[in-house]
Amino acid sequence: MINMTKKEYAQYVKSKAPSSRLARDTALAWLSGGAICVLGQGLIDWYKALGLPVETASATASMTLVAAAAVLTAFRAYDSVAKWAGAGTLVPITGFSNSMVAPAMEFKSEGLVAGMAAKMFVIAGPVLVYGVLASMLYGAVLWVMKLVKGG
């Protein structure tokens, strides 16, 4: 391999690289993400049928999906689904739940506080911090704009 030309090396690398499954992976991501969204809409409709207002039904459906993903992650079932479905399980709200619970489960042997509670925010922490900071910044900008308008 040391005496290979650039062209020979490129051919060698191409022969060892796994074949692309882009079409398959895209289809599975689209189908699985869509299935999660359909499940969410089904939950909203069910909660509305139970008499909840639309806003409450929507929030309750979101909480149900987050809780379900957390439980599936805790029992190590979410990873199996994600390996098959790909990005479709990562994009919806269930992916956020998985990203919070997975690090906590990984460090549960270190104890409830130092392990699970501390590691739960490894991934979600920056998202929450920047989300809160961005909302404060946007709120300040809107407040200043309101003052400038004289309202």
Q: For residues 124 and 97, what is the distance between their CA atoms, to the nearest angstrom?
A: 9
Q: Give the structural domain span for 144.
A: 121-151
Q: Please write the tens of the pLDDT for every residue from 19-56.
A: 778 888 899 999 999 999 999 999 999 999 999 999 99
Q: Is residue 5 part of a domain?
A: no
pLDDT surpasses 70 at 97: yes
Are residue 144 and residue 129 in the same domain, yes or no?
yes
Q: Considering the domain boundaries, does residue 72 fall inside one?
A: yes
Same domain, yes or no: 52 and 99: yes
3-state secondary structure 6-75: HHHHHHHHHHHCCCCCHHHHHHHHHHHHHHHHHHHHHHHHHHHHCCCCHHHHHHHHHHHHHHHHHHHHHC
Distance CA 75, CA 52 (A): 31
- Of 39, 55, 19, 20, which Cα lies nearest the Cα of 88? 39
Answer yes or no: is pLDDT of 132 > 60.
yes
Pair 90, 148 in one domain: no
Question: Is 66 or 127 the better-scoring residue by pLDDT?
Answer: 66
User: pTM of the entire structure?
Assistant: 0.64
Round the average pLDDT of the chain to a whole number and report it. Answer: 84
Residue 41 placed within a domain: yes
Give the count of domains, the chain.
Answer: 2
Please determine, for residue 128, whether its predicted confidence score (pLDDT) is greater than 90.
Answer: no
Q: Could you tell me the pLDDT band of residue 10, with boundaries at 50, 70 and 90?
A: confident
Q: What is the pLDDT of residue 49?
A: 98
- Look at residue 8 and tell me if it is in a domain: no
Q: What confidence score (pLDDT) does residue 81 get?
A: 87
71: in domain: yes
pLDDT at 122 over 80: no
Residue 91 pLDDT more than 90? no
- Sign of the Cα torsion 45, 69, 130, 112 reads positive
pLDDT band at 14 (very low <50, low <70, confident <90, very high): confident
* Whether residues 132 and 75 fall in one domain: no
